[in-house]
Amino acid sequence: MNRPYGARPDPGPEPTPWAAGLAVATLVAVLAAAAVYSFGAALAHVHWLLAVAVNLIAAGGAAPTAWRWRNTPVTRWVLGGVAAGVAVGWFVLLVAAVSA
């Protein structure tokens, strides 16, 4: 395809900022895991079924919005961190429940 005279070539997509993105995802994962664990542990003191139900409802309610935002450049790192943090928080809650 011929470009008009003086037109710049297409530079292509920008490089992925791995260092900054992984730093953001890690920080968000740590915060999300702490939040999920502390909230789940507090609810488990009331009733374990309440803790499970609230966690599943919260994750199920947030999932459609997260799915729509998954391709936004900065938001995808935050969403990856949240997903990892929720998974780690649930795993730690499960380990704590089994060991108790």
Instruction: State how many domains the chain has.
Output: 1
> Is 44 a domain residue?
yes
> Is 92 a domain residue?
yes
> Is 2 a domain residue?
no
| Contact predicate 71/15, CB 8 Å | no
| Contact predicate 36/89, CB 8 Å | yes
> Is 32 a domain residue?
no
32-89 per-position pLDDT tens digit: 999 999 999 999 999 999 999 999 999 999 999 999 998 888 899 999 999 999 999 9
pTM: 0.82
Which structural domain range is residue 62 located in? Answer: 38-99
Q: Nearest-5° angle of CA 79, CA 85, CA 89?
A: 150
Q: What is the mean pLDDT of residues 14-29?
A: 93
